[in-house]
Amino acid sequence: MLSRTADHLYWMARYTERAENLARMLDVNYRMALLPQASQVVEQSWTATLDIIGVLDLFRQRYKELTPANMLAFMAFDRQNPSSIYGCLRAARENAHAVRGTLTSEMWETTNSTWLEMRVISVRAHSDAEIGNFFEWVKYRSHLARGVTQGTMLRDEAFHFTWLGTYLERADNTARILDVKYHSLLPHGGEGDDTAADYYQWSALLHSVAAFEIYRKVYRDLITPRRVAELLVLRDDLPRSLHRCMSQVYQHLCAVRNEQSLETERRAGELHAALNFGRIDDIFGAGLHQYLLQFVERTKDLGERVSRDFLVSSTGE
């Protein structure tokens, strides 16, 4: 297939996934902010969120105060913020539009309607009650986009590049979500400080990656930080875990293999193997934060290599 087409599909999928994860993260933060706690804690959590997305500076340029309302305006609906949900859905739609002939009609119509609805939603005023509905809507539209991809698309290269984008993005996002929460919850690197507030924080984190019920099902026990990390990093059956994402990345990468992609494939395989055979105690021994930082770096490297191997037009000369 055309390199440019693959590029658009890959980014369409990444932006769709990114919008969903943003909605998940904001939703949890927003709900947490409603719990009785020091405003300092709330602010710290918002700051950390902006920081992992890499838009803290942009936020400070555009807004004076770090209030939940400003935060939402900035991260959900701000047209000037390319990392907002609005910005992601716009980018997803633009990429889809550029290759609408490659998408199935149903995929295109789904992505296009999402964008058309987003434009209507973004100009309405939002009450606290409605904002939850909005996050639900974003997640729902993302489910729909994946479902229609799964349900209508030919299993060809276009399909693999689409999923490659989805899983690389998800791997990155899950790692960041875990890192920021872990960091803010364990400022001293200790464990076992099981206050009620902490319980809510950890369960909120699980909710944000749709893993709360799964945690209960898998561990049938108290929520502990170590288990949460184990679930999100090492379990291969949790759809949003790092392990699961990397196994999918590796699979789709193998399916589109070309002459220059072998090293990229090897690196993805290596990362996958480390997750497959890794032990949570070793990860904690070396420091979870360090581990996650390194993981995010490695997915970034994979993303750049994918671009170089497949997506950037080469003359082949």
Q: Give the footprint of other proteins on this chain (CB under 8 A).
A: 1-6, 90, 93-94, 97-102, 105, 108-109, 112-113, 115-116, 119, 157, 161, 256, 258-259, 310-311, 313-317
Q: How far is the CB of 231 from other proteins (least distance, A)?
A: 35
Task: Report the chain's C-alpha Rg in angstroms.
Answer: 20
Q: Which of 131, 132, 128, 245 is nearest to 178 (CA)?
A: 245
Residue placing its CB nearer to other proteins in the complex, 154 or 222: 154
Residue placing its CB nearer to other proteins in the complex, 101 or 192: 101
Residue placing its CB nearer to other proteins in the complex, 42 or 256: 256
CA–CA dist 126, 72 (Å, integer) = 10
Chain Cα centroid distance, residue 90: 17
Residue placing its CB nearer to other proteins in the complex, 38 or 154: 154
| Residue that is written with structure tokens 């590029």 in the block | 7
Residue placing its CB nearer to other proteins in the complex, 109 or 297: 109
Q: How far is the CB of 166 from other proteins (least distance, A)?
A: 17
How close are the terminal C-alpha atoms of the chain, in Å? 18
What is each CA distance from 174 to 66, 178, 227, 246, 265, in whole angstroms? 24, 6, 15, 12, 21
Q: How far is the CB of 163 from other proteins (least distance, A)?
A: 15
Q: How far is the CB of 151 from other proteins (least distance, A)?
A: 18
| Residue that is written with structure tokens 């809507």 in the block | 137
Q: How far is the CB of 260 from other proteins (least distance, A)?
A: 9
Token pair, residue 256, equals 């589109």
